[in-house]
Every structure is written in C-alpha cells, then in structure tokens.
Amino acid sequence: MKLPFCSQTFIFIIFFTMLSCSVEDDNSSSNIVQTTEPEDVQNNSSNSDNSNDNSSSQNNNSQSTVEFNSNLTCNTPMYSEMPNPNLEENNYKYYFYLWQTEEGKNKICLNSYTGVSEQAKNLINEALVDASNRLGQLMPINLTAYYNGISDLDLVMSNWKALKMTPDGFEPSDFTAGAGVEIFNIHNGGQGEISQGIWEEFSEGVSKKIIYHEYFHIHQNSHTFYFEDTNNFGWNESRINDKSPSDYIPLVGPVWLEEGAADFAAVTYYSENNLLDYNSFFSELLDQAREVVIDAKTREDIVRLEDYTTGDNIRRFESSENPTGTSRLFAYQYSAGAIAHLYILKTGLATFDNMILDYYKNLAELERDHYGEGYKYSFESSFGISLQDFYLEFDEFMLKSREDQLTILELN
C-alpha cells in the first residue's frame, strides 16, 4: 500500500490471513458487523472459562480433535487448528468451512485496543462496510486496530499471533496497514492490522481509501482459493509450495496488478462518494509513475510494467542490484498499477466490474485448468486483451506526452 500523494513516505504492507473482532486492553469488546451496529462480546481472556461454549462444534469431515468457534466469537480463532480437507483430488485439497453461512461469511470484527478513539473506530467500520457492500465478502474478516505507544502491545501481539496461528508477530509502527489471506490459516478467514497514523495523519477520504485498499487484498486473495461452482475453497499443493523459481507469480497475479487494482478501486469508490478528487488523485498517480520512467531513462534504464510482476524483481530494480547500478524510484507497482487499470477502463477494453470483480472470481477455476497461468487466462478473459499485448501497449502509453496521457485517461 502506498501513502497518498500528499506524502512521499511509504507504508510497506505485509500480507496476512487473519481473524478479528473488537477488543480493548481492559478486556471489554464490541463486535462490529456489516450493519455497523456494535454488539457486546466476551474477550478472549475474560471468556476462557466458557471456551467450550464458543468452540464446541467439531468439523465432522475433519479430525475429531479440531474444534470450531460455533458462536463466531470475535478475537478467537474459528478453528483450533487447520481441519482436514473434505476432498482430495488431482493434487488439490478442497475445504468447506463451518463458517460458510450467511452470518459467518459476512462477519466483520474490529479488534480495537486502548488509544483507538470512538471516532477512529467509526471511520474504520464505515470503510470496511463500504468495501464489503461494494466488493462482496467470502469469509469472516477481523481487523486489529491499535495505537502504537499507548496500546498494550504484548496483548495486541498475543491475540494477533493466536488468530494467525504463528509464533511470529509483526513489527509495530505508527503507520501499520496490511491485510490478506493465506492458506495456512484461511480456515480463520481474513485478517488485517492498522495503527493510528492511518486515521490521524490524513483526511477522512484518504484514511478510508487506505482501509478500503487493505480490504481489497482480502477480496482478491480469498477469490484465488474459492470455487464459485462448488462453494468451497481449495488449492493445488504443488502450486503453493513451488516458490523456488525467481519468476514465480502468485495465484492472484502480478504485484502491479494486485496493488494497482486495490488503489484503483479505492480511489474510484471514494471519488464517487465525494471524499476524494478523482482527477487530482489519478493525475498525481500518473505523475508519480511518469517520474519513475523519466528518472530511469536518464540512465538508459527502460521501465517496463512487466518488471513489476514479482517482489524479487521489484527489489532488484529498486536497489543497487539494478543492472544500471542505480536504484529506480520506488512504488511504480502502485502508481502505474492503478493507472494501468484506469487506462483499460478509459480505452474501453473492460468495464470496472470486469477488472475488480470478474477477474478474481475466475482465478481459481482457470488456475485449476491452466497450472501456473490461471491469472493470464483470467486477465485476457476479463480485461479484453492478452497480458503480453497489454504490456506492450501500456509501456508505449507511458512514453507519450503528459498531455496525451491525460487526454486518453480523460483527466484533463
């Protein structure tokens, strides 16, 4: 996630699969559901004596020792451990989770700790509901909100690690913003984390845009594992584990597409709702992308969108490992990624929903049919052009004059 154009500081996102709800350091908590109406729930630590009530249902299709959080209690793992698959076939493991009910899959919880104001909670809740209503939701989502320097970070991290089912925590900071889904704890839904800089340092529109961006990563990555036709989740073990090639592309697709779509969707939504200025925001993103291209060109370093397909590639081009010996300016995957989506929209190659909804809904099935290349087939189907042809067309667009670019993007 990139900070808005009013700042040149960057937030580097860590992707997680998480489950969340509202908790306070004083052990009180409130559950924020899609209606944005809080309901009182027990916190993990204050409710340990009743753990059997909240985790009494067992997955009949899994090992008998796995317990399910049947009350969908916030800040509590949905499963005590990863359940066994319901079906294994052709190297795929398929799961149907007990939270796949209307209530369960639409559950949104906000874990808020000491220092997070009521105003901040309301802003976060509104952004989460905005995103859920516009994009849909496949799984329970929990977001941890904390105030670095005020919240009890030991408690924050203890709860966070329990939800993520990992011994490792994240690095707290004033500007934390991250969310996503991973297979090792997808059974607990989607998880994210946010800290005070996101709601204190920016306007309402920019703050909500950042939160919407993070929700979008849960939207993207949940669909990579979800099969619409059979209403279950699954993945090819080989595809997940085979991360050794340097050109490995995640299931969701290239990094520029993953990050660019999140920014494109968020800026568009809050522009339509009059919290952001559409032309100004996208014009600034264009200028940021142009700056990367123009600066690199002074060293005969030709910037291509395809350079931003993997994290390894990006780290190489944005460091002294760059073939020119000089690092490129940062974050082309964000700025150019968002502009690439706008370009596709304004040139009539695809509609907004083709890019933001259809592409992701088709990923799981197309990956199953085309090992390692599902994203390519989904891109061509949803974006109206092959990925390789688009790279050539967009790179040419980025070499045009700013005036011509603004005309094409309908920003002037």
Residue 18 lies in a domain: no
Residue 220 sits in the same domain as residue 296: no
Residue 177 sits in the same domain as residue 76: yes
Residue 65 sits in the same domain as residue 153: yes
Residue 284 sits in the same domain as residue 217: no
pLDDT at 64: 57
Q: What's the one-letter identity of residue 218?
A: I
pLDDT at 245: 62
- The rounded distance, in Å, linking the Cα atoms of 108 and 290 is 38
Residues of the chain with pLDDT below 70 are 1-64, 243-246
Residue 169 sits in the same domain as residue 272: no
Residue 205 sits in the same domain as residue 312: no
Residue 41 sits in the same domain as residue 77: yes
Residue 213 lies in a domain: yes
pLDDT at 58: 46
Residue 20 lies in a domain: no
The total domain count for the chain is 2
Question: What range does the domain containing 279 cover?
Answer: 246-408
**Among candidate residues 212, 239, 266, the one where a domain is terminated:** 239
Residue 179 sits in the same domain as residue 40: yes
Residue 203 lies in a domain: yes
Longest CA span, the chain: 67
Residue 233 sits in the same domain as residue 250: no
**Among candidate residues 210, 239, 268, the one where a domain is terminated:** 239
Residue 136 sits in the same domain as residue 277: no
Residue 16 lies in a domain: no
Residue 330 sits in the same domain as residue 359: yes
- The rounded distance, in Å, linking the Cα atoms of 276 and 278 is 6
Residue 235 lies in a domain: yes
**Among candidate residues 239, 256, 277, the one where a domain is terminated:** 239
Residue 253 sits in the same domain as residue 317: yes
Residue 300 lies in a domain: yes
Residue 13 lies in a domain: no
